[in-house]
């Protein structure tokens, strides 16, 4: 059995979970999320513990067992505590600002990049003297948050020589050696 899949998911107080015909929905203080599960997987909710059981030991079912347990766990953590992603802009002249969910980036191109963040995500930008500009995004939906963070990173990926670009906070970049002086 999958080590991840067989681990039970604890449902904290204040979170309501309903399981009905392949759809699991959770409602908590941070929002409401739903996740569809294949009909042959069995999801049980007993005494604030959610468990996922697979129908057979086929390779397909084994591979999906841990996935759906992780998706349900992320959903429950999201509606109870929320998820947070922090990104930094490293580079001379790089700036970021926001008006609501409209974020404007200056990352070394001849133009500004204006990006509209989905309404499910709250965004905050921090520009302090002597520190890199920072984007802080919070949401209950971890999948959506990861997609938006990856899209923002794609505007200017960190390059391997100086490390300039948009990176996740705490991310360690492997730098390459430049040309050696002759």
Q: Is 6 helix (H, G, I), strand (E, B) or coil?
A: helix
Torsion of CA 63, 64, 68, 69, to 10 degrees: -40
- As a whole number of angstroms, the distance between CA 120 and CA 113 comes to 21
Q: Which tokens is 65 given? A: 């067992």
Domain pair 3-80 / 83-168, same fold: yes
CATH superfamily name and code, 3-80 = Ribosomal protein L6 (3.90.930.12)
Residue 15 contacts residue 76 (beta carbons within 8 Å): yes
pLDDT at 113: 95
Q: What is the DSSP letter of 108?
A: S
The CATH number given to 83-168 is: 3.90.930.12
Kindly give the confidence (pLDDT) of every residue in the chain, 182 residues in length, as a single tens digit, with 9 standing for 90 and above: 468 888 889 999 889 999 988 899 999 999 999 999 988 888 988 888 998 888 888 888 888 898 999 999 999 999 999 999 999 999 999 999 999 999 999 999 999 999 999 999 999 999 999 999 999 999 999 999 999 999 999 999 999 999 899 999 998 989 898 887 65
- As a whole number of angstroms, the distance between CA 135 and CA 87 comes to 5
User: Other C-beta atoms within 10 Å of 64: how many?
Assistant: 20
Q: Is 30 helix (H, G, I), strand (E, B) or coil?
A: coil
Residue 150 contacts residue 156 (beta carbons within 8 Å): no
Tell me the pTM. 0.87
Domain edges within the chain: 3-80, 83-168
pLDDT at 56: 87
pLDDT at 2: 61
């Amino acid at each position: 059995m999958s080590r991840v899949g067989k681990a039970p998911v604890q449902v904290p107080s204040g979170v309501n979970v309903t399981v009905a015909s392949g759809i699991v929905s959770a409602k908590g203080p941070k929002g409401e999320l739903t996740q569809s599960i294949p009909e042959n997987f069995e999801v049980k909710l007993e005494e604030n513990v959610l468990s996922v059981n697979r129908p057979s030991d086929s390779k397909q079912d084994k591979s999906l067992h841990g996935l759906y347990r992780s998706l349900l766990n992320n959903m429950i953590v999201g509606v109870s505590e929320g998820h947070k992603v922090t990104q930094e802009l490293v580079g001379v002249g790089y700036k970021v600002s926001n008006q609501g969910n409209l974020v404007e980036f200056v990352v070394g191109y001849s133009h500004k990049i204006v990006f509209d963040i989905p309404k499910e995500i709250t965004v905050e930008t921090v520009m302090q003297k002597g520190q890199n500009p920072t984007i802080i995004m919070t949401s209950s939906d971890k999948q959506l948050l990861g997609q938006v963070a990856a899209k923002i990173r794609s505007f200017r990926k960190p390059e391997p020589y100086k490390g300039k670009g948009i990176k996740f906070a705490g991310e360690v970049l492997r730098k390459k050696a430049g040309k050696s002086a002759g």
